[in-house]
């Protein structure tokens, strides 16, 4: 079972992100593996363990993104590949999908390609289905549980209305959601192995493609105004008195 987990590096959730000269700035906040992608790595490792497979972590990003790949290695991935090229600075989602699809083909394809549901930065969630479309693999999105029997894969997709049980033949692209299970912590041995890992870096020339032109581009970046209104604390002698006052306030807001 050949498994690829696609990951991205993003600023940590605690980062104070703001617009600076039309660019996104996160100060000196650390860059981390996209939290949704930790679930992708976890899902990939579960299948590796169940079916005696190998997991390759794949990332498109700057040299610094090796740290995110090292996190995946420390969790238990067998190999890691970084695609990095100065020409890749303005990728949109479909551009990222084109680069990932080319890298997956260079790896030699896979039985299962895992993604997180979306990224923390862009948050569009388009890249997984676009990669599936480009590869011609079935897309099993938002999988909360995964079962592989022979070449058949069955997933429970978590939708707004409940769960949809879907079956396809491998190879397939899967995006996973949180019910797949908490991502495991990197083990001590895993961290040691990851710190020594020599992660290959592929350029666009290595992939045999040119930089995809961005179809979607940003024209403006805005820092939204922060909440400056003071909180109004509601107090009283008894819960009933507090509730009475609070109910009046809520009704006066005309949001019911």
Return the residues of window 57-96 that contact another protein according to CB under 8 A: 92-94
Q: Which of 50, 87, 205, 247 binds another protein (CB under 8 A)?
A: 247
Distance between terminal CA atoms of the chain? 53
How far is CA 33 from each of CA 88, 90, 108, 151, 232, rounded to the nearest angstrom? 19, 20, 24, 30, 38
Bridge partners of 153? 148, 168
- Considering only residues 142 to 171 of the shown chain, the ones binding another protein according to CB under 8 A are 142, 154, 156-169
Q: Going residue by residue from 189 to 228, which x/- string records binding to another protein, judged by CB under 8 A?
A: -------------------------xxxxxxxxxxx--x-
Query: Of 132, 174, 199, 207, which lies in the binding site for another protein, with binding defined by CB under 8 A?
Result: 132
Retrieve residue 121's tokens: 């930065």
Residue 111 binds another protein, judged by CB under 8 A:
no
- CA angle, residues 201, 202, 205, in degrees to nearest 5: 150
> Residue 166 or residue 209: which is nearer to another protein going by CB?
166
108 binds another protein (CB under 8 A): no
Out of 18, 51, 147, 192, point to the residue binding another protein (CB under 8 A). 18
* Position 125 contacts another protein (CB under 8 A): yes
Task: Please check whether residue 72 is in contact with residue 116, taking contact to mean a CB–CB distance below 8 angstroms.
Answer: no
Residues numbered 22-41 forming contacts with another protein, rule: CB under 8 A: 24, 35-36, 39
C-beta separation of 104 from 228 below 8 A: no
């Amino acid at each position: 079972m050949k498994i690829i987990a696609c990951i991205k590096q993003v600023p940590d959730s605690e980062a104070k992100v703001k617009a600076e000269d039309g660019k996104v700035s996160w100060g000196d906040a650390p860059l981390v593996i996209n939290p949704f992608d930790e679930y992708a790595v976890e899902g990939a490792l579960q299948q590796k363990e169940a079916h005696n497979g190998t997991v390759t972590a794949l990332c498109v990003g700057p040299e610094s993104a090796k740290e995110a790949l090292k996190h995946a290695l420390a969790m238990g991935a067998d190999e890691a590949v970084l695609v990095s090229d100065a020409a890749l600075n303005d990728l949109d989602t479909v551009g990222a999908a084109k680069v990932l699809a080319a890298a997956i083909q260079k790896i030699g394809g896979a039985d299962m390609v895992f993604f997180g549901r979306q990224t923390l930065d862009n948050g569009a969630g388009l890249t997984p289905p676009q990669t599936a479309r480009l590869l011609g693999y079935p897309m099993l999105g938002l999988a909360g549980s995964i079962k592989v029997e022979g070449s058949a894969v069955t997933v429970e997709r978590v939708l707004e209305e409940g769960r949809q049980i879907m079956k396809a033949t491998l190879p397939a692209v899967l995006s996973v959601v949180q019910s797949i299970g908490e991502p495991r912590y990197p083990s001590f041995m895993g961290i040691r192995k990851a710190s020594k890992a020599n992660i290959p870096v592929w350029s666009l020339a290595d992939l045999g493609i040119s930089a995809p032109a961005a179809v979607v581009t940003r024209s403006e970046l805005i820092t939204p105004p922060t909440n400056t209104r003071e909180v109004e604390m509601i107090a009283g002698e008894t819960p009933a008195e507090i509730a009475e006052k609070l109910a009046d306030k809520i009704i006066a807001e005309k949001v019911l």
